[in-house]
């Protein structure tokens, strides 16, 4: 009995009294202050841009349509997503604080995967929304009513929560021994699996299956939507109409390309260990670059948002 208690206490200590060290970007350690400033500006710009999209699409009566409802929810997810990773990365650059305890690390891994999955389901919903708006314009208002829009966003969160929770619960039950250095700038799932001294084959298979479901559900929805959109656009008789139809979804296509390219590279690999060294650079695209570019892409290429921003600035100037 005493031996069993000793074994249980040892296992408990391995999983709860554990501190991980985030390796970050070793080649850039001497540029800590510079990188802190750069990433801080990017973070603030991203949060400000996405918050501005939320505010504009919420307050402007002309933007109370399904497209902007989904964009508003998407921007909210982006704000939360970048906030799960960048604050800790800023602390690493400024203070050299690379340690993170077991529980915050698991929470960060969950938040990153949950919000990332939700964003991809949002992308699928936004693709289908553009398909219905362009290919089924007469039925679009009836199909995409407020109740349906709410349910689509709601189930994006719920499905992501269910899929990711299973993976994270399995991850939290692993034993960790030996090296505690995570070769990444945040608590990456693959890196944590690699550090575990437990048998991780079933967890790797589970994580791979979830990644395939999330990514390829979104990819297939986008392929279906935009192949039909392209056919419909090409059938329009006037070049002006074709250009207008394509401009409504070109921004979405740019964002899709950025996100799918980096995420397929990172996550759709059955063997998690095989991707550890190349993940950091690719992950920067999702955690830093894409959240920054999304507000720029959606505002610069959207005349309705342009007009709403101009009107909002005009009202602010009149009040001064």
CA distance linking residue 129 with residue 85, whole number of Å: 30
215 Cα distance to chain centroid: 11
Residue ranges in the chain assigned as alpha helix (H)? 2-16, 32-59, 66-83, 86-95, 102-135, 140-143, 146-172, 189-195, 201-234, 239-267, 276-284, 290-300, 303-319
C-alpha span between 96 and 296 (Å, rounded): 32
- Report pTM: 0.83
CA dist 50 and 292 (Å) reads 8
Cα separation of 175 and 59, whole Å?
A: 50
Tokens of 62: 């002309």
As a whole number of Å, the end-to-end CA separation of the chain is 77
User: Can you give the pLDDT at residue 244?
Assistant: 65
Cβ 88 vs Cβ 104: under 8 Å: no
| CA-based nearest residue to 294, from 4, 87, 75, 2 | 75
With beta carbons less than 8 A apart as the criterion, state whether 296 and 54 touch.
Answer: no
Q: Which two tokens stand for residue 57?
A: 């699409």
Nearest-CA neighbor of 28 among 257, 280, 208? Answer: 280
* Cα 204 from Cα 270, distance rounded (Å): 7
Tell me the three state secondary structure of residue 187: coil
Domains of the chain as residue ranges with CATH: 20-232 (1.20.1070.10)
Q: Which residues contact 202 (CB under 8 A, 6 or more apart)?
A: 170
Within a 10 A sphere around the Cβ of 14, how many other Cβ atoms? 17
Q: What is the predicted pLDDT for the residue at 274?
A: 46
Q: The tokens of 233 are what?
A: 């656009």
Contacts 24+ apart (CB under 8 A), 259-268: 259/119, 259/120, 259/123, 259/286, 259/290, 260/215, 260/218, 260/219, 260/222, 261/285, 262/286, 262/290, 263/116, 263/120, 263/215, 264/215, 267/208, 267/211, 267/215, 268/208, 268/211, 268/212, 268/215
pLDDT tens over the chain, length 320 residues: 445 445 444 544 444 446 888 887 765 566 778 888 988 998 999 899 899 889 888 888 888 889 889 989 999 999 999 999 999 888 888 887 888 898 899 999 999 999 999 999 998 998 899 889 888 888 999 999 999 999 999 999 999 999 999 999 999 888 887 778 888 888 888 888 888 888 888 998 999 899 889 888 888 888 898 888 888 877 777 676 667 666 666 666 777 777 776 666 665 555 544 455 556 666 777 787 778 877 777 766 667 776 777 777 776 666 65
Residues 6 or more apart whose CB falls under 8 angstroms from that of 147 comprise: none
Among 289, 143, 291, 268, residue whose Cα is nearest residue 218: 268
């Amino acid at each position: 009995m005493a031996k069993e208690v000793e074994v249980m206490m040892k296992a408990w200590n391995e999983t709860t009294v554990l501190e991980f060290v985030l390796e970050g970007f070793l080649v850039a350690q001497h540029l800590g202050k510079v990188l802190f400033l750069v990433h801080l500006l990017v973070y603030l710009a991203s949060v400000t841009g996405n918050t501005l999209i939320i505010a504009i699409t919420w307050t402007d009566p002309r933007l109370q349509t399904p497209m902007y409802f989904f964009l508003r929810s998407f921007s909210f997810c982006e704000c939360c997503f970048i906030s799960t990773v960048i604050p800790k990365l800023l602390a690493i650059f400024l203070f050299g604080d690379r340690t993170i305890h077991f529980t915050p690390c698991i929470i960060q891994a969950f938040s990153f995967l949950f919000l990332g999955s939700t964003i991809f389901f949002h992308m699928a919903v936004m693709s289908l929304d553009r398909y219905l708006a362009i290919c089924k314009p007469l039925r679009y208002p009836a199909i995409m009513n407020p109740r349906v829009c709410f349910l689509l966003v709601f189930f994006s969160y719920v499905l992501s929560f269910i899929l990711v929770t299973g993976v994270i619960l399995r991850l939290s039950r692993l034993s960790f021994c030996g090296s505690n250095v995570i070769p990444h700038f945040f608590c990456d799932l693959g890196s944590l699996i690699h550090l575990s001294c437990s048998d991780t084959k079933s967890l790797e298979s589970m994580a791979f299956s979830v990644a395939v479901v999330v990514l390829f559900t979104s990819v297939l929805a986008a392929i279906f939507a935009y192949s039909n959109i392209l056919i419909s656009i090409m059938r329009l008789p006037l070049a002006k109409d074709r250009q207008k139809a394509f401009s409504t979804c070109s921004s979405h296509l740019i964002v899709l390309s950025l996100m799918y390219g980096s995420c397929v590279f990172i996550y759709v690999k059955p063997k998690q260990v095989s991707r550890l060294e190349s993940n950091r650079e690719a992950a920067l695209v999702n955690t830093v670059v894409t959240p920054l570019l999304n507000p720029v892409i959606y505002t610069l290429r959207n005349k309705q948002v342009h007009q709403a921003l101009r009107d909002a600035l005009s009202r602010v100037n009149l009040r001064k």
